[in-house]
Amino acid sequence: MKRLKKTIRQWMTEQMDLPADVMMDLPRVTLIGNFHIYIENHKGLIRFTQEELRLRLTEGELLVVGRDFVIKNILPEEILLEGVIVDIRFIKEGS
């Protein structure tokens, strides 16, 4: 059933020319230089330290690594992180 919903969302996105991040429940990541990252459509905070931010996504996790991290703004599905960003990784479920 989950696969069918995903297939329908993909088809609707293509046919109706809708933004994929909205229809397919994908995260939107905006990086400004290497010192600000704005992430929309996450599903919750898993871990936060001054060197790591880990967020739950619909399919897997998002890992941001660096130093001097400070959460400037956090809402239920949005987060603004400031600090020196060194690495950003998408981690699929089961990896």
Q: For residue 39, what is the domain's CATH number? A: 2.60.40.2000
- Summarize the confidence of residues 32-36 as an average pLDDT: 96
Say whether pLDDT at 29 is over 90.
yes
How many domains, in total, are found in the chain?
1
Interstrand relation of 52-57 and 36-40 (parallel, antiparallel or unpaired): unpaired
- 63 forms beta bridges with 54, 89
Q: What pTM was estimated for this model as a whole? A: 0.77
Tell me whether residue 81 is in a domain.
yes
Say whether pLDDT at 21 is over 60.
no
Tell me whether residue 18 is in a domain.
no
Q: For the chain, percent helix, then strand, then coil, each to nearest 5?
A: 20, 55, 25
The residues, any chain, with a CB within 8 Å of residue 34's CB and separated by 6 or more, are 66, 84, 85, 86
Tell me whether residue 1 is in a domain.
no
**For residue 38, what pLDDT band results from cuts at 50, 70 and 90?**
very high
Rounded Cα distance between 56 and 91, Å, is: 10
